[in-house]
Amino acid sequence: MQVIHVARSRSRRRCIVRALAGSISLLASLSPAGAQDTRPRPTLTPVSAPGPNEVAHVVKKGDTLWDIANAYLKDPFRWLEIFKRNPEVVENPLWIYPGETILIAASEVRPDVLARIATKPAPVSEQTVFSTNPMTGSTRSAGDVIGREGGSGVPRGEIEAAPFADRSGGPGGSGRLAVAYDRPGIASPAGERRFQLKDRIFIELPARSAGHPGDEYLAYRLGPVINENLQILIPTGVVRVESRELGQPALARVVRQFGDIRLDHELLAIDASMSAVQGRPMAVQMGPAERVVYVLHDPVLPSIQSYVVLSATAANGVRIGDQFTLIDDSIDPRYPAPPVPAALVEVVRVTPYAVTAIIVNQEQPTIRPGMVARLTARTP
């Protein structure tokens, strides 16, 4: 009887590496230099405009189905769903080409992305939300944030969905999501109830709010505490008042959703400061320097569409649409080097406590608290 000994993990890894190396060598020997490129050619099948329940993504250089699934569905392993939905365009999931239009079910798209995107195909571009490009001398985004066309300003949905800083515990006099309008068929704890688009809910209005039909309020939850005086508030959706009876909570309906909406989430009135901003920011010379105080969700490597909180405030005259260049001035004592631009961020929310900006272009992989953020362009 043959006895098989189980090798230690280190030995197994060496064997696997040798096997892979041998396979690569074999493939190389079977593919002589000058061999004809057998990759499939781009499909030219025309695609109809997206329907009301679809989102269109125009493929750009560097895109993959894996990346597209991660950006829109928040799960790269769902690339197969996108592939199966686009059989007339994507003949081989390994090859997609710039200019092809890929359709995605709007019901499956991340709520925070859906709040920002436009469902019409974007113009063909060599840039991609996954690419990075040098920013030297740049005063505007060279990358594409989903749903934003270059120089088009900041859309209202992006402003509403952006996390923002306030005093610890949140603003005083806020309202709240009080109780569900529809009663559950199966008994469950009310605090576990989640709300979706078009759900109706009774709300307690913020202080000094009239609550007229049509008035809108931003629902949010308390996020991480940055320090004893500063806390991040995370928007979860927008509700619109439908009716109000004297002595009763106002009846509202969920009209926009950015995340999980639950009872006891607090409410703020939506005012003119959250209106869309139009126009391209203009370059400024030697703008004031601030600091990155927080990177939302603390990712290992923040990338395009990540949020950062800057030390600037409304008192500094910063406005939505202004742009800051983040500077990487880290120094390795063994190999000193001058500071370099790391990323370009665009302001999407301004409060008396801090500024929230979204990364619209990136050159260096590391973005961290403490980095210098210099104002390089202002909204006209």
Q: CATH assignment of 277-378?
A: 2.40.30
Same fold, 42-110 and 277-378: no
Report DSSP letters for 56-88, one per residue.
Answer: EEE--TT--HHHHHHHHHS-GGGHHHHHHH-TT
The answer, as to whether pTM is greater than 0.95, is no
Q: Which residues of the chain have pLDDT under 70?
A: 1-52, 112, 115-152, 185-191
Could you tell me which CATH number the domain at 42-110 has? 3.10.350.10
DSSP assignment of 193-224 equals: -EE-TT-EEEEEPPTT----TT-EEEEEEEEE
Q: Domain residues of the chain, as ranges?
A: 42-110, 161-182+191-273, 277-378
**pLDDT for position 152:** 60
φ, ψ for residue 188 (rounded to 5)?
Answer: -155, 155
pLDDT recorded at residue 188: 62
